[in-house]
């Protein structure tokens, strides 16, 4: 799911991220930038972020990590409201995608966008608990849980935390249902690879409709996940943000 980093920094990352997020909704963000000993910049400055519902009003939101229907089985820490946040630059590019696809009878359906570092730390803590396999049959039926971290499905840091990555699918307005992509969001396995061919021709073509539109408007794909795209010219390629997913975060300037 994310690029794998050394496991030796796992516990340190969890502790650092917890410290960073405390009080981030009440203190000016510019006072809370810090550098970890791994040379990574964390920030709770939300001034360049927007609510996706306002920037891309035609998008349908189904924020999975605010619910319990996700690979963990619990609401994920840091998701305080079922909203989606993105950098202004990524949101503007996504608006162009939305406008184009709407003319073809589709709307974008958003599963996740900006993801705070505390949520990534929640994923990592879950990955270290071998007994919690409640959602295995839904999201990783062909994999053992202890392989998820070594294989890179779970990692210490996520591109989502940089604020310009989005997980999404298509909604067919004529059929009034989500488009069949031949696999579900957050399924861990080869089935999720965009170029996976052991699905129907229509399912593969559906993936390509989404992919082509996203690439046309400045996003780059991930080879392991058909739903995952990052703005190619993301404004914060080296910064990981810590403020929670909430409309209140956008009001902190």
2, pLDDT greater than 70? no
Lowest mean pLDDT among 26-30, 76-80, 109-113, 144-148: 26-30
Q: Percentage of the chain surpassing pLDDT 70?
A: 84
Give the model's pLDDT for residue 190.
95
Look up the pTM and report it.
0.86
Q: Which residue has the higher pLDDT, 8 or 126?
A: 126
Question: How confident is the model over 71-88, as pLDDT tens digits?
Answer: 999 999 999 999 999 999
- Phi, then psi, of 110 in degrees rounded to 5: -100, 125
Average pLDDT, the chain: 88
Give the model's pLDDT for residue 247.
97
Give the model's pLDDT for residue 57.
97
Give the model's pLDDT for residue 137.
97
Question: How confident is the model over 159-205, as pLDDT tens digits?
Answer: 999 999 999 999 999 999 999 999 999 999 999 999 999 999 999 99
Give the model's pLDDT for residue 34.
58
Lowest mean pLDDT among 12-21, 141-150, 197-206, 244-253: 12-21
- The 10 Å Cβ neighbour count of residue 205 is 11
How sure is the predictor about 35, in pLDDT bands with cuts at 50, 70 and 90? Answer: low
Strands 165-172 and 106-112: antiparallel
- Phi, then psi, of 86 in degrees rounded to 5: -145, 160
- Burial (CB count <10 Å: 0-12, 13-18, 19+), residue 206: buried
Give the per-residue SS3 of the chain: CCCCCCHHHHHHHHHHHHHHHCCCCCCCHHHCCEECCCCCEEECCCCCEEEHHHHCCCCEECCHHHCCCCCCCCCCCCECCCCCEEEHHHHHHHHHHHHHHHCCCEEEEEEECCCCHHHHHHHHHHHCCCCCCCCHHHHCCCCCHHHCCCCCCCCCCCHHHHCCEEEEEEEECCCCEECCCCCCCCCCCHHHCCCCCCCCHHHHHHHHHHHHHHHHCCEEEECCEEEEEEECCCCCCCEEECCCECHHHHCCC
Active site amino acids? 225
Q: Percentage of the chain surpassing pLDDT 90?
A: 81
Q: Which residue has the higher pLDDT, 32 or 170?
A: 170
**Cα torsion for 233, 236, 240, 244, to the nearest 10°?**
-90
Give the model's pLDDT for residue 16.
43
38, pLDDT greater than 90? no
């Amino acid at each position: 799911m994310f690029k794998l980093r050394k496991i030796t920094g796992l516990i340190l990352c969890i502790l650092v991220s917890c410290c960073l997020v405390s009080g981030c909704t009440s203190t000016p963000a510019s006072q809370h930038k810090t550098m970890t000993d791994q040379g990574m910049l964390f920030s709770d400055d939300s001034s360049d972020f927007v609510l996706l519902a306002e920037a891309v009003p035609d998008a349908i939101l189904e924020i999975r990590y605010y619910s319990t229907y996700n690979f963990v089985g619990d609401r994920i820490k840091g998701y305080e409201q079922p909203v989606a946040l993105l950098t202004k630059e990524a949101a503007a590019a996504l608006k162009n995608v939305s406008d184009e696809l709407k003319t073809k009878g589709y709307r974008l359906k958003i599963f996740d966008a900006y993801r705070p570092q505390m949520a990534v730390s929640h994923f990592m803590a879950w990955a270290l608990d071998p007994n919690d396999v409640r959602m295995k049959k839904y999201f990783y039926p062909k994999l053992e849980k202890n392989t998820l971290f070594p294989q890179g499905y779970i990692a210490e840091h996520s591109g989502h935390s940089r604020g310009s990555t989005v997980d999404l699918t298509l909604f067919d307005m004529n059929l009034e249902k989500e488009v069949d992509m031949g696999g579900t969001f957050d399924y861990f396995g080869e089935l999720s690879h965009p170029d996976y061919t052991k699905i129907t021709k229509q399912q593969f073509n559906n993936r390509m409709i989404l992919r082509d539109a996203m690439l046309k408007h400045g996003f780059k794909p991930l080879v392991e996940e058909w739903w995952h795209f990052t703005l190619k010219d993301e404004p914060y390629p080296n910064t990981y943000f810590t403020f929670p997913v909430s409309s209140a975060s956008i009001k902190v300037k």
